[in-house]
Structure 1
Amino acid sequence: MKAIVKACSLVLSLGFLLSACSEMDIPGYENDPRMFFQIPGIGNTLRDSIIYSFPAHPTITEADTLWFDACIMGNAAPVDREIGIKINTEKTTAVEGVNFKFPSKIMPANAFKARIPIVIYRSGLKDKSVRLQIEVQESKDFKIGYNRYNSAVFIWGDKYLKPDIWDISEYVKAFGTFSEKKYAFILESCKLTELPDPNDKPALQYYNALVRNALIEYNASHPALTDENGAVIIINQYSAAGGVG
């Protein structure tokens, strides 16, 4: 009988405790909103930079727009929020208001991601390029997010610019040593504004064949095509299965 009384007392005690807890105001945990940047690549890949050559876009005369994604860690909000963007002046040669501008730095209401435009200008860049490195800057609305995606780089100019991964990717195997004139010939022959993903070997093999045929046709009716250094341009056969054939 005593055991039954003790058991009942324990149940009643637990009931009071649970009732007290349910009446307490226990706030839910929420992370501070944070921001990070991403540059979409081909497919689902990401890249660290965009390299843009104005001559590769013959329909563009004075200006164009580059895009990157500003992404948030945390919850969306019912109001527009300010995106903090810091220019790393030590690693930047482009001048805001002269070489580029940001038309918008806003995360729209109820959004987790915003496409942020950078308008870039061609004027004053004949035969040269400029570099812009941006970083996430803490704002009244966002703290800094992932360190890995804290910065993004943009390079553009009124010349054919070498892709930054040319020498360490399949590009060098498919097209050889880089030169501006060779790159211009490649893009023109393939009707491209930039090369495909360097990991897409079948695509590189296809474009390698297009360029070799175009080079044969050109050299058949002109002196051998040379680059800006006077070297004869050569494109060797490339095999997707094993590199250069």
Structure 2
Amino acid sequence: MKRYINHIKRVCCILIALASLSSCKENVFQADDFKTGIYFITDSIDYSFGITPLETKNHRLDIPVRIMGNPSSQDREFNVELLVAKTDAEENIHYKIPTSFLVKADSVNGIIPLEILRESLGNANYKIAFNLLENGNFVPTSKETSSTVITFNNRIEQPHWVNPWANDNVRLWPSSQLGPWNPMVYVKFVELVNEVEGLAPGTYMNMMKDFGGPLLPKFPGTWAYDYNNTLTKYVLIPLYRYFIIDHKELGVKGIPKPAGFIN
């Protein structure tokens, strides 16, 4: 009986030792071979300078990535490649981008800071596409979430301002006040109208009710004669000075000289 018990003890010791070795091997495998998954939060992003102020020459667009699992106590680098077949923008002409990217310590989020350069965009659409790469820290979670496409432009469309005389889709533009249609004039006009808020707050509040908000979707395409005095003083005179006097290099012509303008 004693011999049988000793035999059982030896078998148990062997099993415990094997289990311990198996556990050690499992831990070593995880430490050496396991990588955290990383993925793009969205597969596409669109950006347009639109009617942002003309002085805005570039825009930083943060493209978000996220990791699976817990954050680390250290910064970790992740890598991307440019997908040439899906990209028509040129680096340092239409965009700039750094050479390395990080998921910061104690975070599960990272960004690719894409700087979009306005000056050379013209009226065209541009695309740039990225693909996440495996490195020593991360592995893409799936093919579907490993790439993203960014589309950007500086296109400014003439607004569909309200025709007070008919219910049609004609694009009206008050050329007797603003000159011929010009996207740069449109951008500056909206900017100056919104600056009225600090100059004549009560009038501005009424204008926003009538015009549908700061982008002026309900602006009367003939002209807002109810606010002519305010618009002449705070919008038309500064607009004329900006393009015709101070920034002739922009090449804007045909803006009529407003009443009361003094050089």
Alignment of 1:134-173 (within 5 A): 134-160=130-156
Distance 2:75 2:138 in 1: 12
Residue 116 of structure 1 deviates from its aligned partner by 2.5
Matched, 1:53 2:55: no
Question: How many pairs are equivalent?
Answer: 169
Matched, 1:35 2:34: no
Could you tell me the TM-score, scaled by structure 1's length?
A: 0.54
Residues 72-116 of structure 1: per-residue CA shift (max 9 Å, x gap): 346644443332111111111111222112235122344332133
Seen in structure 2, the aligned counterparts of structure 1 residues 58 and 140 have a Cα distance that, compared at 3 Å, is same
Identity %: 22
Residues 32, 74 of structure 1: 8 Å contact kept: no
Residues 31-75 of structure 1: per-residue CA shift (max 9 Å, x gap): 223432223xxxxxxxx2221111232376100111122223466
Distance 1:22 1:215 in 2: 73
Residues 50, 156 of structure 2: 8 Å contact kept: yes
In structure 2, runs of 5+ residues without a counterpart are 158-168, 174-182, 191-211, 225-263
Residues 83, 142 of structure 1: 8 Å contact kept: yes
Larger Rg: 2
Residue 151 of structure 1 deviates from its aligned partner by 0.8
Distance 1:151 1:82 in 2: 17
Alignment of 1:214-233 (within 5 A): 218=220, 221=223
Residue 22 of structure 1 deviates from its aligned partner by 5.6
Distance 1:61 1:115 in 2: 22
Seen in structure 2, the aligned counterparts of structure 1 residues 60 and 107 have a Cα distance that, compared at 3 Å, is farther
Alignment of 1:1-245 (within 5 A): 8=5, 11-21=8-18, 23-24=20-21, 25-28=24-27, 29-30=29-30, 31-39=34-42, 48-58=43-53, 61-73=56-68, 76-103=71-98, 104-160=100-156, 210=212, 218=220, 221=223
Distance 1:217 1:129 in 2: 28
Of 25-34 and 152-161, the range deviating more from structure 2: 25-34
Distance 2:80 2:125 in 1: 22
Residues 176-210 of structure 1: per-residue CA shift (max 9 Å, x gap): x9x9x9xx99xx7xxxxxxxxxxxxxxxxxxxxx5
Distance 1:59 1:18 in 2: 76
Could you tell me the TM-score, scaled by structure 2's length?
A: 0.51
CA RMSD of aligned residues (A): 3.8
1:205 alignment counterpart: none
Q: SS of 2:155's equivalent?
A: coil
Distance 1:150 1:125 in 2: 27
Distance 2:54 2:117 in 1: 14
In structure 1, runs of 5+ residues without a counterpart are 40-47, 162-176, 189-209, 223-245
Q: SS of 2:50's equivalent?
A: helix
Q: SS of 1:70's equivalent?
A: strand
Distance 1:218 1:125 in 2: 30
